[in-house]
Amino acid sequence: MIKLKKQGDLIIISGTTCAGKGSVIKKLLSNHNDITLSVSYTSRPKRDSEINGIDYYFVSDSEFKEKINNGDFLEYAQVQYGAYYGTPKKEVLEQLNKGKDVILEIDVQGAMQIKKLYPETILIFIMAPSMSEVKRRIKLRGDENNEQIIARFKVAYNEINQINNYNYVVVNDDLEEAVKKVEAILISEKLRVDRIEEVSVENEEEIIHEFLMDKDFDNSKEY
């Protein structure tokens, strides 16, 4: 009786540094074949451990700027050290039209750009349980000096002040529980009334007639 829209959901997952959003996304992708992760473009050099087309699409500055001029990105930004990052429009829209849900792992700035263009986007913010936990996780990495850690903290505080622009916030104090919460959010979004494309209800007289003619129905009995 109810026909739901086949269009996939556009899902943005952002989070503070060391909130574990990458781990949450990885678990979601392993649990659900109908969810895909958008691969971003970047103009920064490829690291030895990275694979082109898997981690990022690596392009030159001139190629990236050409794509900007062609309107090929849903959103893009130039970050520290002059490198560009952008979300490809064509690839994302193709997946959505196929009925696939698409996750964008992007920062607050990019999320707000896309929210303006696509207000129906599901925005989820992943947080660590506390800033002291963030500090502990950064130290466990052991690859940043105090100045870099302070810079990350400043960015984190600025991002936390933006969570009111998101639809949901999930505290990642336990990975499995955090993933379950995100899954519950995605299920509830599928059940929204505004996702219904068509409701077909049979003629009232036909329903009553069919009910009365049902052999298993005896109207002489009292119930």
Q: Which residue has the higher pLDDT, 194 or 9?
A: 9
Main-chain phi, psi angles of 199, to 5 degrees:
-120, 120
pLDDT over threshold 90, residue 218: no
| Section 46-72 average pLDDT | 94
Q: Out of 9-18, 71-80, 150-159, 176-185, which region has the weakest mean confidence (pLDDT)? A: 150-159
Look up tokens 């529980």; give the residue.
177
pLDDT over threshold 60, residue 141: yes
CA of residue 82 relative to chain centroid, distance: 26
Amino acid 205: pLDDT: 63
CATH domain 2-38+101-212 topology: Rossmann fold (3.40.50)
Amino acid 65: pLDDT: 96
- Cα 179 to Cα 28: distance, rounded to the nearest angstrom: 7
The residue type at 207: I
Amino acid 183: pLDDT: 98
> Where are the domains positioned within the chain?
2-38+101-212
Report pLDDT digits (tens) over 159-193.
888 899 999 999 999 999 999 999 999 999 988 88
pTM above 0.85, yes or no: no
Amino acid 23: pLDDT: 94
Confidence at 9, pLDDT banded by 50, 70, 90: very high
Q: Which long-range contacts (CB under 8 A, 24 or more apart) does 184-191 make?
A: 185/122, 185/124, 186/9, 186/11, 186/35, 186/101, 186/122, 189/9, 189/122, 190/4, 190/9
Q: Are 58 and 42 in contact (CB under 8 A)?
A: yes
Q: Are 30 and 78 in contact (CB under 8 A)?
A: no
Q: Out of 17-26, 45-54, 118-127, 130-139, which region has the weakest mean confidence (pLDDT)? A: 130-139
Beta bridge partners of 88: 73
Confidence at 97, pLDDT banded by 50, 70, 90: very high
